[in-house]
Amino acid sequence: MEQFHEQNNMQLSAAANGIDVDPTCSGSDETDLLEEYFNSLPYGYRFCPSDEELIEHYLKKKVNNETLPRNRISEVNLYSKDPSELAAEFKPLTETEWYFFTPRQKKYPNGSRPNRATPKGYWKPTGTDKAIPPDSRHPIGYKKTLDFYEGKHPGGRKTDWKMHEYKVKDNTSQNNGRAKNDMKLDDWVLCKLYNKKEKNGEDAANSAPQANVIVSQNEASVMPETNNELEDIASQPNPIYGSLQHEDESSYGMYLMLSDPTAPILDNDISYYRIDDRFPDVFDGPGPS
């Protein structure tokens, strides 16, 4: 009987991932079929769903026990492990992101607040829930951003681990028939984990190189980056001194338009120059060190 239930559960799991499985198919065969499908995709295809797609086509179907698109989202009790443990145990679905279906437990028996404590830390929300789709009068769900802290609340140490937690708008179907003293808050929410340091490093590697500025009298030109301390100031317009703008795309010529003729004049000799040092009031705060 146990063997029958185990086999039936595997078939249900395969169906939830959109795979047609022979009733005699074993768990390893099911995994092989799923891997065969993903390995058959052309190079360059990535799992990159929007917030709305995550809720509508994955979480909502999971909550309602409907057939999901083929996917590699793992089921795990996320709050029973620390993020570094999850990252070591499971493969990321992108270069820097992990996705999980997870239940949530109540913090208090008669409350509705989730318990976000882990063995060595806790997840702390950074703001209020955001409606998905944004600014919609009829959202299908909500997204919350959280930071992971090591240690005991409230004196933990903030880490680079972050999480987006998605939940459906109406989760009453998850709570129907549940006893009053049941500590489960949700059967399923969908969580996306990433390490901010690693993700920022990937974004920086994929972005165009920044530019350094060489300035002479009233002119400025752009050269490839050679010093991290020098800034790309082209993206920082100012109502007083104007902004740097591309003049000639082929030569990357740039000019600093000064609306105040009494403004300090730049050095006559051509040299690397930090604009925020000479015009401190152009910027809201101190320039990067």
pLDDT in tens, 136-182: 889 999 999 999 999 999 999 999 999 999 999 976 556 556 677 78
- Its domain, for residue 133, covers 47-204
Assigned domain for 289 exists: no
Say yes or no: 81 and 114 in one domain: yes
Say yes or no: 242 and 221 in one domain: yes
DSSP string, 13-81: HHHHTT----TT--HHHHHHHHHHHHHTSPTT------HHHIIIIIIHHHHTTPPPPS--PEE--GGGS
Average pLDDT, the chain: 73
pLDDT in tens, 196-249: 988 787 666 666 555 444 444 444 444 444 443 333 444 444 444 344 343 343
Give me the number of domains the chain comprises: 3
Say yes or no: 4 and 53 in one domain: no
Statement: the pTM of the whole predicted model exceeds 0.75 = no
